[in-house]
Amino acid sequence: MQTVNSSPGDMVREMRPERAVDTVSHRSRAIVAAIAFPLFLDYLLYGLLFTLHSPALEGEGHLALLYGVYAASVLLVTPLFGYLGDRFGSGLTMICGAVLAICAVLLFGLAPSLLLLVLAKACQGAASAALWTSGLALVAANYVEKRVVMLGYAFAAGTFGSVLGPIAGGFFYQMGAYKLPFLLLGIAFAAAAGLIAWMVPVAPTQHEPVNLRALILSRSITVPAVTIALAAFSFGVIEPLLPVRLMRHGLPSIAIGTIFTVSTIVYGLSAPLVGRVSERLPIHQVIVLGTIGMAVILPFLALFRTAIPAGITLSLVNVAFAFMLNPASAELGDAVDRSGLSCYSAVYAVYNIFYSIGMLGAATLASSVARQLGFTGVLFSVGVVLLLSAFFLATARDANAGAPRHPETTTQNPNGTHNQENSKSMRQTL
């Protein structure tokens, strides 16, 4: 019998023992790899299009239009796939995302006109929304004991794809083989869909409708969601500004690419460390430490102009990013477990929305304020925002305290009535 003093992590493990997959087995790692593979391909496609442009594009205006279509598609379609994932299963929606990605790469490969490119970008945004919402939901549903670590591996796969994408795009552009990478990606996405159907266990479905507004306003969701937006905002500022700064100081593009590649590998290797720390400390404390670490390390990027010190600093930024993003993302899944629901797709739709908000905020800051403040001023400004946010995260009462508990735990919880009402409010019709 569960005691009153049991920790939230213990309650989650007791409530979902059937989904606490043995994360040290080879099959378990293969399942995570099968889920991470289409996420890697999604970001590979995104990065590929930075350097592999269609002949139909004419100037920066067309590029801005296409990326605007992509962002709008992600934000508009994400809630839909969150809803469908909880109704019909995240595996099915992830396969749908792979099919949409195949449609996107076929349209990019044809693309004799701007209209087809717009349609391709819309399909790419919808595919990204489906893949990430359902992919993270599958990891969260199948891994309770090592959720922080496994989500970290999934994120690392996507980030590594974003690093390799521009390199591959430049290579194919120099070869004059515009259509070939899209053909290869189409085959890869088809293989990814087959792997998902064959290897990934079926996640539980949420048959009762979930009130997305109540879900977002729940403190157990709001705090990690805000952290996710802050992590995306912090790293989103670096990606467009740091390469330009290093190039101005004489670093060749291959050195800059190497810096980002190595730091991405460090991010992936940090996942077990973040997982171990999250097992020993409350997750909200890990999130606060990661936010403070990001605020402190980020301005140091403005001090270094050569490859090695810049690469070391960027690697430390990636570790801080992992300490923010990985536990915050896992906490979304833990909040679902404590509620007694199975709406993993809905909460990871919230992840997608808040991550997109953070990226849009970073793009706005990088394109407007950077001209007035410069690279150093931008980094210090972001650092101040993060420190203020860390104060908010530290002083906000524990997200778990306001989370709706599993019905089995409410008999020993003095706030059980409130938690049951909170859980019921999430089940209301959208």
Tell me the mean pLDDT in the region 373-384. 88
Is the pLDDT at 104 greater than 90? The verdict is yes
pLDDT, tens only, 273-297: 998 998 899 988 999 999 999 999 9
Answer whether 292's CB lies under 8 Å from 387's CB: yes
DSSP string, 372-412: HHHHHHHHHHHHHHHHHHHHHHHHSPPGGGGSPPPGGGGGG
Q: Which residue has the higher pLDDT, 218 or 335?
A: 335
What's the distance, CA 32 to chain centroid?
A: 15
Tell me the mean pLDDT in the region 219-230. 87
Domains and CATH numbers, the chain: 25-204 (1.20.1250.20), 206-407+417-430 (1.20.1250.20)
Residue 341: CB partners within 8 Å, gap ≥ 6? 206, 208, 210, 423, 426, 427
| Token pair recorded at residue 310 | 């810049």
The DSSP element (H or E) to which 249 belongs, if any, is none
Tell me the mean pLDDT in the region 150-159. 88
- As a whole number of angstroms, the distance between CA 267 and CA 96 comes to 29
Q: What is the DSSP letter of 185?
A: H
- Name residue 256's amino acid: I
Is the pLDDT at 319 greater than 90? The verdict is yes
Mean pLDDT for the chain overall:
78
Rounded to two decimals, the pTM is 0.76
Q: How far is CA 420 from CA 84, 416, 430, in A?
A: 25, 6, 19
- Among residues 345, 325, 348, 352, which one has the least CA distance to residue 74? 352
Q: How far is CA 301 from CA 306, 313, 352, in A?
A: 11, 6, 27
Residue-level pLDDT at 206: 53
Answer whether 305's CB lies under 8 Å from 246's CB: yes
Q: Give percent of the chain above pLDDT 90.
A: 26
What's the distance, CA 430 to chain centroid?
A: 24
- As a whole number of angstroms, the distance between CA 52 and CA 179 comes to 10
CB burial class (10 A; 0-12, 13-18, 19+) of residue 7? Answer: exposed
- Among residues 327, 374, 383, 386, which one has the least CA distance to residue 351? 327
Tell me the mean pLDDT in the region 163-173. 79
CB burial class (10 A; 0-12, 13-18, 19+) of residue 372? Answer: exposed
CA gyration radius, the chain: 21
Name the packing angle between helices 147-175 and 180-199 (round to 10°): 160
Q: Which residue has the higher pLDDT, 197 or 257?
A: 197
CA end-to-end span of the chain, whole Å? 36
Is the pLDDT at 110 greater than 90? The verdict is no
Is the pLDDT at 430 greater than 60? The verdict is no
Instruction: Name the pLDDT band for 94 (thresholds 50, 70, 90).
Output: very high
